Amino acid sequence: MHVNTNKPVIGITTGDLNGIGLEVIIKTFSDNRMLELCTPVIFASNKVINYYRRITPEHTFNFTSTKDMTKLNYKQINIFNCWEDEVPLQPGVLTEAGGKYAIRSLMVATQCLKDGELDALVTAPFHKSNTNLSDFPFTGHTPYLKDKFGAKDVLMLLYNNKLRVGLVTEHIPISKVSAAITKEALLSKLAIMKETLIKDFGIDKPRIAVLGLNPHAGDEGQIGTEEQTTIKPVVDQLRNAGNLVFGPYSADGFFAHGIYTEFDGIMAMYHDQGLVAFKTLAQGEGVNYTAGLPVIRTSPDHGTAFDIAGKNLADPASFREAVYSCLDLLEQRTEYANNTANPMRKGRIERDPETVTA
């Protein structure tokens, strides 16, 4: 925690400059009550902020501009100027500039997080079509942060107050999913899920459901064998080791019949299997969390929404929830660290011989 303030300092990245990222950021932090909870630092430039302020004129958004993280104003929104360039803004249009400066924002903010100048990070969405740059050979935020912080593995976890869904595979073609569902991948992702449910969500003995890959979870091998050869053996191995892991479940019935309400975490095999159900149930208030990192990073569960960008139509609910969740995760992780910092050493208790009766 920073000595200048009791409030956490939260880095905010812009996402694609032509998407809805800056609009929902402005709408979120124009509520002054947010400043009672944290000190936001938005990694952008004054010029792009002022452009989107004009698009959302009904929102009062005052800020302090800086290029020095040691000179933050802890009572106001801070804009950390990452560039001075004149960036051509075209809301709703996929452009090279929109992606280039989204990556600039992310890279600068991530370095500040790594240097300990931020307590956590909330990222607005960018588009993968214009972020495939020579200095950013990643398919999204999650693999970039994994590489930047040297994590062995990470887990993309979507959650709200009703459910938490993790993904074994993320942004890969369906044709490659089956080969990526390996014993090693499942064990790694499930270990991260268990740890984050305990450490970040305060659930001592989490119950985890594992979905099958094929329709009807393979129907005993009639329409796919991955459940029998890979998924169920992993579930059995973990159960035998004392973990509360169950499955594999047929995904359609699992969500349709409300079975998901019986579990603390759900492991889906691929992107749409987990996210279609999650986004339907979350109703626009879900959060994307990168579990497995030594730091906290959250983001809204929506994309760039080019179709409504620049029209003052974007709903900030998911982004605001990402900020709230970021703060909750920070608090929970700090509490867990404090509670486990000096555990009582296990050992034999010596008894007074005189108190022992025959």
Q: Please indicate, yes or no, whether residues 135 and 162 belong to a single structural domain of this protein.
A: no
Q: How far is 126 from 338, CA to CA, in rounded Å?
A: 36
**pLDDT higher than 80, residue 5:** no
Q: Please indicate, yes or no, whether residues 121 and 187 belong to a single structural domain of this protein.
A: no
In sequence order, the β-bridge partners of residue 101 are none
pLDDT digits (tens, 9 = 90+) for 264-286: 999 999 999 999 999 998 887 78
Read off the pTM: 0.88
Task: Single out the residue in 241, 275, 292 at which a domain terminates.
Answer: 292
**pLDDT higher than 90, residue 203:** yes
Round the average pLDDT of the chain to a whole number and report it: 91
Q: Please indicate, yes or no, whether residues 124 and 224 belong to a single structural domain of this protein.
A: no
CATH number, domain of 39, equals 3.40.718.10
Q: Is 76 within the bounds of a domain?
A: yes
Q: Please indicate, yes or no, whether residues 222 and 97 belong to a single structural domain of this protein.
A: no
pLDDT digits (tens, 9 = 90+) for 212-257: 999 998 888 899 999 999 999 999 999 999 999 999 999 999 999 9
pLDDT digits (tens, 9 = 90+) for 306-316: 999 999 999 99
Q: Is 40 within the bounds of a domain?
A: yes
Q: How confident is the model at residue 135 (pLDDT cuts 50, 70, 90)?
A: confident
Q: Please indicate, yes or no, whether residues 61 and 120 belong to a single structural domain of this protein.
A: yes
Q: Please indicate, yes or no, whether residues 92 and 175 belong to a single structural domain of this protein.
A: no
Q: What's the pLDDT score for residue 285?
A: 79
Q: In this structure, what token pair is assigned to residue 302? A: 């929506």
Across the range 310-329, mean pLDDT stands at 95
Q: What's the pLDDT score for residue 245?
A: 98
Q: How confident is the model at residue 347 (pLDDT cuts 50, 70, 90)?
A: low
Please count the residues of the chain: 358
Q: Is 332 within the bounds of a domain?
A: no
Strands of the sheet containing 120-123, edge to edge, are: 63-66, 77-81, 39-44, 9-13, 120-123, 297-300, 287-291, 155-159, 164-167, 265-268, 208-211, 245-249
Q: Please indicate, yes or no, whether residues 172 and 79 belong to a single structural domain of this protein.
A: no
Comparison of pLDDT for 345 and 165, the residue scoring more: 165
User: Domain of 162?
Assistant: 152-292
Across the range 157-172, mean pLDDT stands at 93
* Domain count along the chain: 2
Contacts of 327 by beta carbon, 8 Å cutoff, 6+ apart? 8, 10, 37, 38, 120
